[in-house]
Copies of this chain bind each other. A is one copy, B any other.
Amino acid sequence: MTFVKDFKWNKGMQVQELVDYYQDLGFQSVELAKAASTIVKMKKASSKIFLTFTSNMVTSGLRGFFAQLIRLKMADVIVTTVGAIEEDIMKAKGEKFIIGDFKSDDIALYEKGINRVGNLFITNESYANFENLIKPILERLYQKKKRWSTSEMLYEIGLIMNDENSILRQASINNVSIFCPAITDGAFGFHLFMFQQDHQDFIVDVVQDFKNILLSTNQDEIKGVIALGGSISKHHAIFSCLLNGGLDYAVYMTTARESSGSMSGATTNEAKSWGKIKDDSDAVTVIGDVTINFPIAMISALEKLSREGLIKDE
């Protein structure tokens, strides 16, 4: 039996110490501490780790952290949405995103060519620069071959990004596949369409990607997922793991709630009814904003793994 312990600050407190307190604090802090220890177990068990996130997290500064995690071998497979791909490329090419305000005058922003994502801003100029970038890339890919799976395309694009904070770059040089099951749902999709207008034999073969994600792991491997936010990125990872016998470890972080039956709010318990998560697995759902909660849990895990020599230090 574990008892609630009184929390106390001491000077110079490390994140790791804070998470140790969280274990015995209560409510979501307890779940967050469980998430940290589940990540440690996942890694120690040499799991194949699926890291999934929605595009808004790449709008945020978590993007550099995801790149670092790939470098540290904390993610073996990435699943995300297309906005994440676009924005990682923009940032790799020097575009700056702005810290704004949730309560902005959106019509005034529109007139200034500024697009809002919560309290962050992306300029139209960044999208225009993306357009200039992506066209020659598609041309180059097309020269190589006509039929591409999305993950192959993203691998090639990653190779030509020269920013160590780029998710695509780190994925490519670390042999981590990035899956993006709705590759056309954004500006990238628009440019694929424009390109196909002039190159009818250019094909993005998403069915091939299904094969690729399925073969990225197998029945015998220990499997873990860290699912940040909901949507298809979360579902795609856990569904492909279901087909390979289910997950051994699962950490969900979300603001969505289960009351409406959505995938975003679906709990690790619900996933057990499907066999997406094995019945005896370590599984935890942490409710709250990922920009706050994920760094904390992951820092705690990294510190512990580093202490045991299981990851390289930074």
- Interface residues of A, count at CB 8 A: 130
Q: Are B99 and A24 in contact (CB under 8 A)?
A: yes
Q: Which of A40-48, A128-136, A267-275 contacts B (4 or more CB under 8 A)?
A: A267-275
Task: Determine how close the nearest CB of chain B comes to the CB of A10; give it in whole angstroms.
Answer: 5
- Closest B residue to A6 by CB, please name it: B64
A175 in the interface, Cβ–Cβ < 8 Å?
Answer: no
CB contacts under 8 Å to B, within A179-214, are: 181-186, 189-190, 192-193, 196-197, 202-211, 214
Expressed in whole angstroms, the Cα–Cα distance for A27 and B216 within the complex equals 32
Known: A22-B292, A184-B210, A197-B211. 18 other contacts (CB 8 A): A6-B67, A7-B61, A13-B15, A23-B99, A27-B291, A30-B119, A102-B259, A106-B269, A106-B279, A115-B274, A182-B232, A185-B232, A185-B236, A193-B207, A203-B205, A231-B231, A231-B263, A255-B262
Interface residue ranges, A against B (CB under 8 Å): 1-16, 18, 21-32, 54-56, 59-65, 67-68, 81, 91, 96-99, 102-104, 106-107, 109-110, 114-120, 147, 165, 181-186, 189-190, 192-193, 196-197, 202-211, 214, 229-232, 235-236, 239, 243, 255-266, 269-275, 279, 287-293, 295-296, 298-299, 302-303, 306, 313-314
